[in-house]
Amino acid sequence: MKYMLMMYEVDKDWVGAPEQEIQESMNEHIAFTQYLDGRGVAWSGEALRPSTSATTLRPGADGLAVTDGPYVELTEHLGGFYVIEARDLDDALDIARRCPIATGIEVRPIWDIDTVEQEAQNA
């Protein structure tokens, strides 16, 4: 199964952050991705720019309204994500435990159309 690990953090603009802090965070993620490779986990992942850079579209009476800012204003935001391949939720949680964590990581299964169809055939 594929899972997304959504990393939440207090909104932070890494542009202008102290060099050492950036390096430390980079190192943590490099270590995590090395762990993923060592474990043989297929993965992808990205870091996001701060929520202040977000633009949101909402359907309205006059078509799509474009607004400045994230979909929901919170004190913590989605700061980045990984998509990993895991056997089941226990496996995914075991992997997520090793992911660098700020204020929280949400683990969500990803709709996998191939698997659903394959299971329908096997059943």
Distance, first Cα to last Cα, the chain: 18
Of 24 and 88, which CB lies nearer to another protein in the complex structure? 88
Of 43 and 54, which CB lies nearer to another protein in the complex structure? 43
Q: What is the H or E stretch that residue 21 is in?
A: helix 19-39
Range 1-60, binding another protein (CB under 8 A): 1, 3, 35, 38-40
Distances (CA, A) of 108 to 13, 33, 57, 86, 100: 25, 19, 23, 12, 17
| 123 contributes a contact to another protein by CB under 8 A | yes
Which residues are at the interface with another protein (CB under 8 A)? 1, 3, 35, 38-40, 86-94, 109, 112, 115-116, 119-120, 123
